[in-house]
Structure formats: C-alpha cells, structure tokens
Amino acid sequence: MTKVNRPDVIAGRKLTDTFDIDAMNYHDIQIITHDFIKNVLLSSSCIHNQIPDTLIKLAENTCRKILLNLSNVLSNDELKKERIRVWKIYDSQTSSHERNFTQLILGGLSDEEQFTDALENYATVSDILLPTFFNVYKLCGEELCKKYLEFLLNHPILKKYRVEHF
C-alpha cells in the first residue's frame, strides 16, 4: 500500500493515534465543530480574501444554531430545515473556495437523529470527522490543516478520548 503524505492524511493519522475518535458522542462533536468554526475557521486570514461576508454570517449563524439545538431551544426539525437551506446554497455555488467553506459549515447542521442513523447504518465517527481535514486542506492549505489538528489535540473535550499507548 502506498503511503500518503498529504497534510490532511498525516493530521488524520495523528488524531486517530492520539484519540479514540469512534467513541465520541454527538454532543461532543457538535461542540468541537462549533468551537472550530468560531475560534479557528472564522479567524483564519485565508478565508477573508476568498469568502464573501454573507457566508461568514452564515457560519456565525450556524454556530448559534448548534448551541441552540444542543440546549433544545432549536428543534431537530428546525435544524434540518436549516441544513436543507444551506445545502441549496452549496448547490448553487460555483466557487470551489465557497463550496469548501460551506461544506465545513454543513458539518455542524446534522441533528442527533441523523448522526445516530449514520453510525447505526453505514459510518463510524472517524468517517464523519476525518474528512474535515481534507475540506480544511482544500480551503486554505497546509497551514489551516495544521491549525485544525493543533486545535483538536488541545481541545478539552477530547481529553477524555485520549488513547494511552503502553
């Protein structure tokens, strides 16, 4: 098997070597997605030259909706409607940068039922979480990919999923 040396693949390996990603629950993934969008993605200089303000506002709104859904203020049905609305935006975009950015936002608009269904029928948490590295890499390259990995390695929620190597 050929060894892949792309930064997103290397970062994914580091993450799965450090944490039991597949043990993560919906709530923790949503908080991590929220924190990544708010604290890393939206503060990244690379997006401000290529992403319009309307999409920046969409990402900020997504962060708000994640928290509202987790606190049961926003229903799963309302979150689903928002996900469909954002998919329509994604489908209408012609810029690859805008599509990559919107795809990262869509990660936060999955409800718990959709998450559970995916895990029961066709996916692992790794299947859901690791492609984010590729989307980050496509959007802003190696620098943001490394920042995403550093963010994850240091996120307090992930500490409980740390794998001990003996």
Distance CA 27, CA 33 (A): 10
Q: What is the mean pLDDT of each run of 10 residues along the chain (166 residues)?
A: 81 94 95 96 89 95 96 95 96 93 93 90 88 92 94 96 84
Contact present, 60 and 106 (Cβ < 8 Å): no
The pLDDT score that the predictor gives to residue 3 is 75
The pLDDT score that the predictor gives to residue 85 is 96
